[in-house]
Structure 1
Amino acid sequence: MIQRIGQIMLYVNNQDEARQFWTEQAGFHVVAEEDNGEGMRWIEIAPAPNAETSIILHDKAFVASMSPDMNLGTPSLMFFSEDLDQLYADFKAKQVTVGDLVTLPFGRVFNFADREDNYFAVMEKKNTTSS
């Protein structure tokens, strides 16, 4: 039985630029960075150091050379934020490309793009767990 999502693979054209975007503009943390010395380098990022799910930034060209039939398209990701208005303002101040902040039947949401024009979404979701 699958119990949770551990890692999401994100294939990028430029790992250093992707790392910079996700850490400096989106506020993620680098959890780990590995390089096997043979061209295989990956950078693990997460919204918090102890997050259950992380994103692995892989070099798209390298992975394509190793697995030519692999689907290297960008996954459709939905992130959650407890303070959507503040995040939206922060992204705009950091010159992140953002869509309109809209209200849908399931909640308020906006999309944003990384430096490679991959689009992701953020939905307002209040933490309902008690501590």
Structure 2
Amino acid sequence: MIKQIGQIMLYVNDQDQAVRFWTEKLGFIKVSENDNGQGLRWIEISPAEGAQTSFVLHNKQLIAQMQPELHLGTPSIILYTDDLDGLYQDFQDKGITVGDLVDMPEGRVFNFADDENNYFAVIQK
């Protein structure tokens, strides 16, 4: 029986740039970095130490060569915050592309883009 979501794979064009975006701009931490010695490198990042779910950043071009049948698009991900207005302002101050603040039935939300123009959402319930 599945108990929780562990890791979400994000396939990116530039792993180092993606790490900088998530850690320096969004405050994530780098949990681990692994390299199989044959070019396959994966970097695990998390919003906080001990978080139940993390992202693993993979090289999109390399994975496409290894497993062309995989869907390498960015999944739709919603992140949670307790201070949507503060986070929205912080993202704007850091030059992160953000969408409008929107009231949804589930709570207030906004979208933001990483440096590769992949969009994610943040919600305050």
Instruction: Tell whether the structures are fold-level matches, with TM greater than 0.5.
Output: yes
Tell me the SS of whatever aligns to 2:3.
coil
Q: CA deviation at 1:104?
A: 1.2
Q: CA deviation at 1:63?
A: 0.5
| Residue matched to 1:120 | 120
| Gap runs ≥5 in structure 2 | none
| Residue matched to 1:104 | 104
Q: CA deviation at 1:35?
A: 1.0
- For residue 67 of structure 2, what is the amino acid of its counterpart? S
Given the two structures, how large is their TM-score scaled by the length of structure 2?
0.98
| Residue matched to 1:22 | 22
- Aligned counterparts of 2:49 and 2:40: Cα–Cα separation in 1: 23
Tell me the SS of whatever aligns to 2:71.
coil
| Residue matched to 1:47 | 47
- Runs of 4+ in structure 1 off by over 6 angstroms are none
Q: Give the alignment of 1:49-64 within 5 angstroms.
A: 49-64=49-64
Tell me the SS of whatever aligns to 1:117.
coil
Q: CA deviation at 1:18?
A: 0.4
- Aligned counterparts of 1:90 and 1:49: Cα–Cα separation in 2: 21
Residue by residue over 1:38-93, the C-alpha shift from the partner in whole angstroms, topping out at 9 and shown as x without a partner, is: 01101100000110000000000111111011110100000000111111111011
Aligned-pair identity in percent equals: 62
Given the two structures, how large is their TM-score scaled by the length of structure 1?
0.93
Q: CA deviation at 1:26?
A: 1.1
Tell me the SS of whatever aligns to 2:62.
helix
Q: CA deviation at 1:22?
A: 0.4
